Chains A and B, each alone.
Chain A
Amino acid sequence: MTIGIGGAGSKIAAKLDNQAILINVSETEMSKVDGGSRRILPTMFAAKGQLRGSRKNPQIGLDAYHSVQRELQELIRGNFVFCSTGGGTGNGITSGILNDLASQEDVSLTDKTCFGIILPYAKLESNEFVDNTIAFLTGPLSDAIDSGNTGNIFLINNKKKFVEKISEEHYNQMIVDSLNVFLSIPDKNDRLPLLDGHIDHEDFTSFMSKPYFNYFTYFNYNPSAPFEKQLDANLNDLLLPPDSAIEALFLVEVPKGGDPTIFYDILQYFSTKNVAPIYSVVENPEVNAPFVTVSLLYSRKPAELVDDFNHISEEHVKAKVNKTLNQNVSLVKLNVNMEDEAKRAVKQKGDSDDILATLRRIGKL
């Protein structure tokens, strides 16, 4: 089951799973998302009644989380949660979930929760989004990963959307289509004739339950070219680029009557990286050329990611200050004590010259 939190998370979850549970503090925003099944509206009262949004403030989302905390703790077990880190609802409620996960003693393999986290494109999105993201990555997410109680975390990158000017609807569909390629691996193993290896649902669940970042990509595989070059050339730019792989999984689909041994070169590549992947080779009559889906689990990237975000956040602040200075400068009234200032100035100036002036003034020179 899939759970979508906040506007961005709900839209992707609803597209991925028509049984998705959608959570939003804004009833209006939630009503505009098609699909999904159950909808949860956390209670969030202000002095004037239920709020209709979280004002990009994660604290509001976190406060709202407490009204659905017990229910969500049960719902997320073994499921896939989508949220964005920029706004208030997705960030705030998911922070609550991650904090709870971090404080748990142990979470069983089948109860691990996977997260699809949509990161803002810092260059073009608001700096509140960037600041919220930094706080999320360095706080709740980092703590939850350290606890080992999460499953795979997919860092979804909004850069391509902004750079290539893609509509939100279309971009969300691209993300969902991409995720479906990866998530269909165990089904393909069930459905298609196996030629080598095997990834069953249990293997896949086990892989997904590991508390690392998951990067995956897929492409038509040319057995006569080095796998590494093809892997680099076919970057999945919907996800953040990976760091060195800790674990890996791949599925090779060969056309009917295709060579079932082409996977050895891929194994050889992973061997040079000291990674022993889980893999399988299936015969898929629907493909015309060998097709590989590969997933890498990695752990180091968040620190660099936060560095990038910090850097861009600072640029945002500088730009904001410059803009403010150019538009309107209001000077604060300074209450200067002239006597103190004069004394300070005398001290700073150096006393030697002053003493000669003093001697002249008192008639000694």
Chain B
Amino acid sequence: MDSGSANILFDAQVKRLGEAHSLILYWCSSAEGRSLKYNLTNCFDDLKSAGITRTKQTAIAAVEALATLCFVDLKDEGNRKNIYITRHGAKALEYLVKNSLFHSKPSSFLEDVSS
């Protein structure tokens, strides 16, 4: 695949991201920026408190979709599945921010840690 096609594919993938996906990218980036581990349970709690989903399955599905697109890495650490943003995920988030396609919402996990 040449770089032009790759870019087209990347744009198409990013445009298909929903609010849950972009928030997960944002929250896991913020956590990593503060040297915190952001796991699947934190992700579910945040999506739930943001009013986006009430089921853990949906949260897991959103994270797995991001992992499939290589936008996040899921790592089993201890008994937790921690989420790390990849370089592609960072580019995706940058695209969303710059094109005003993303509005942040607070993460109760990150707020609890800071207070």
Contacts and interface: CB of A to CB of B under 8 A. Distances in A.
A364 B85 CA distance: 8
Interface residues of A, number: 13
Binding site of A, secondary structure by majority: helix, strand, loop or mixed?
A: helix
A359 B114 contact: no
A118 B30 CA distance: 70
Nearest to A357: B33
Contact of A356 (B87, B97, B114): B97
Nearest to B33: A358
Interface size classification for chain B: 10 to 19
Contact of A352 (B87, B104, B114): B104
B87 A355 contact: no
A359 B29 contact: yes
B91 interface: yes
Given A356-B94, A356-B97, A359-B29, A364 B89 contact: yes
B114 A343 contact: yes
Nearest to A358: B33
Contacts of B104: 350-352, 355
A354 B47 CA distance: 21
Interface in B49-106: 85-87, 89-91, 93-94, 97, 102-104
B26 interface: yes
Contacts of B86: 364
B32 interface: yes
B32 A355 contact: no
Interface in B28-47: 29-30, 32-33
Nearest to B87: A364
A365 to B, nearest CB: 5
B32 A362 contact: yes
Contacts of A229: none
Contacts of A351: 26, 30, 104
Interface of B: 26, 29-30, 32-33, 85-87, 89-91, 93-94, 97, 102-104, 114
20 contacts: A343-B114, A350-B104, A352-B102, A352-B103, A355-B26, A355-B29, A355-B33, A355-B93, A358-B29, A358-B30, A358-B33, A359-B33, A359-B85, A359-B90, A359-B94, A364-B29, A364-B86, A364-B89, A364-B90, A365-B91
Interface of A: 343, 350-353, 355-356, 358-359, 361-362, 364-365
Given A343-B114, A351-B30, A359-B93, 14 more contacts: A351-B104, A352-B103, A352-B104, A355-B30, A356-B97, A358-B29, A358-B33, A361-B33, A362-B29, A362-B33, A364-B85, A364-B86, A364-B90, A365-B94
